[in-house]
């Protein structure tokens, strides 16, 4: 049904997103990386979104504008995080400490994501281990749903969460499990992905 001078509901939804993004003063930047591009979006409370895409250059810029309607491009956004990501994709060990705004997730998902953020570089944890870490040992499936809802992959390293026997399960980024494997291989270097790290995960303090 047409509304507002013949405009459809899609128009109103688009306008609402523009108004919201303008009101919260969100900005974004597109970075080229070896796997394509990374889009960073941030507001007054911190980083709100990280999107990893196989697109590059102008194509990645067009995708960012279409996905984050009304958000302003700012190449100088989060310079420390940009430098950390460049180092990370160059194979250097990095601990991302940029403030993150997790307003859009549930209380349980926030607890899981905060625990996930403590998994050290070059280590993995299982969904069950994360569930136990947040005091819900039988909630491995819900932990998986929290990983799928992660708005800031890499910064909150959901790629370091694996199945009970070490298998690589789903990854919410555009490139899926292939990118998850690529990121883990980047961190593990010569170590085999076929084996869990001895002693289990190492949790950052």
Q: Is the pTM of this model over 0.85?
A: no
Q: Is 195 a catalytic residue?
A: no
pLDDT computed for residue 14 by the predictor: 54
CA proximity to 26, closest of 86, 101, 83, 82: 101
- Per-residue pLDDT tens for 131-151? 999 999 999 999 999 999 999
- Per-residue pLDDT tens for 39-71? 999 999 999 999 999 999 999 999 999 999 999
Q: How far apart are CA 180 and CA 188, in angstroms?
A: 12
Question: What's the order of all strands across the beta sheet hosting 27-33?
Answer: 46-53, 36-43, 27-33, 72-73
Q: Which structure tokens are listed for 155? A: 């910064």
Kindly name the residue from 116, 133, 158, 195 that is annotated as catalytic: 158
State the DSSP string of 68-79: STTPEE-TTSSH
pLDDT computed for residue 111 by the predictor: 96
Domains of the chain: 9-89 (3.30.160.70), 107-188 (1.10.10.10)
CB atoms within 10 A of CB 110: 17
pLDDT in tens, the chain (205 residues): 444 455 555 544 555 445 444 445 899 999 999 999 999 999 999 999 999 999 999 999 999 999 999 999 999 999 999 999 999 999 999 999 999 999 989 999 999 999 999 999 999 999 999 999 999 999 999 999 999 999 999 999 999 999 988 888 878 788 889 999 999 999 988 454 443 443 455 545 4
Q: How far apart are CA 80 and CA 193, in angstroms?
A: 30
Q: How far apart are CA 12 and CA 1, in angstroms?
A: 12
């Amino acid at each position: 049904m047409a509304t507002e001078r013949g405009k459809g509901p899609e128009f109103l939804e688009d306008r609402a997103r523009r108004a919201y993004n303008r009101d919260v003063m969100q900005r974004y930047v597109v970075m080229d990386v070896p796997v394509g591009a990374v889009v960073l979006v941030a507001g007054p409370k911190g980083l709100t979104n990280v999107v990893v895409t196989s697109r590059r250059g102008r194509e990645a810029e067009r995708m960012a504008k279409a996905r984050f309607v009304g958000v302003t491009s700012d190449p100088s956004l989060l310079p420390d995080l940009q430098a950390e990501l460049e180092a990370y994709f160059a194979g250097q060990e990095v601990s991302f400490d940029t403030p993150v705004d997790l307003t859009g997730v549930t209380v349980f998902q926030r607890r899981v994501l905060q625990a996930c953020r403590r998994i050290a570089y070059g280590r993995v944890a299982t969904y069950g281990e994360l569930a136990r870490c947040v005091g819900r040992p039988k909630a491995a499936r819900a932990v998986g749903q929290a990983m799928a809802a992660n708005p800031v992959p890499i910064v909150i390293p959901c790629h370091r969460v694996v199945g009970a026997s070490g298998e690589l399960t789903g990854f919410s980024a555009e490139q899926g499990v292939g990118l998850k494997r690529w990121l883990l291989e980047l961190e593990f270097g010569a170590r085999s992905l076929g084996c869990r790290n001895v002693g289990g995960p190492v949790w950052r303090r």
